[in-house]
Structure 1
């Protein structure tokens, strides 16, 4: 049975189809959790969040709008980022008040939640700030105007459909921009040996 048929069956409540899809896409979940962490949580917690994202992708998938693989990645990452943001929001209240964001524009300030926490040492905070500022400089030089806008909305947790609506462009344009952003971000990670 192909993936499309498995998704249809899973959406109808077929547990075997759901289990088969989880088995097929579990490596995708693992890959998408490897560069993230939640302070005080185990790696398995992020994998569980990734699996929740995969389940949402299966439940809400519409084959007329996007390829399932791309939709699954978006749902998995959105779930992971949402969990990180939620876990770190309370821990970062003091940090966000204490560290000036003068060098970081507003659209990047939410990324700080992923790079530093209230439990971080001054050295970790310093290096996190440098990493964030370095990435911001990279995007200013290497990202197109559309890619910068799309990234801004991704950071805020918007789905690709919501971004398309906000920017008044087709979902396909947003999907293409996200693919380019991903490739450029991977280049940045390799260049700065951060992966």
Structure 2
């Protein structure tokens, strides 16, 4: 059950109502994991984690709540930064998001929540290469935007 709560917290982005819905979906996923577990196919914790995650991701897809990470959360990279620096980061992220395609936005949001390309691809049920290519395009656009920002200063 702590797994369900932790995963719901990560995917809800601080929205208590969404978290509650995700917890319920996670418990349903855990119930299905208990019923369908076959000990010959691996360890239960790994199977349960996959079932819980898949239930939550399915819920997010069905309800079109794919904003896993908000611009505010992504901009708060470090508490050591002063307010002006945080505002610049937030402005940069907003400008970057304006340049991205919907697929690239999904890839970036999911990468920010998962922490690595493999997990992000798994969360979106994308092939690894598709995710890697999307993030490469995001990075390229971010570099271009940074270059334009420096020239504009």
TM-score range, shorter chain: 0.3 to 0.5
TM-score (norm 2): 0.47
**Does 1 or 2 have the higher relative contact order (CA < 8 Å, sep 6+)?**
2
Q: Which has the higher helix share?
A: 2
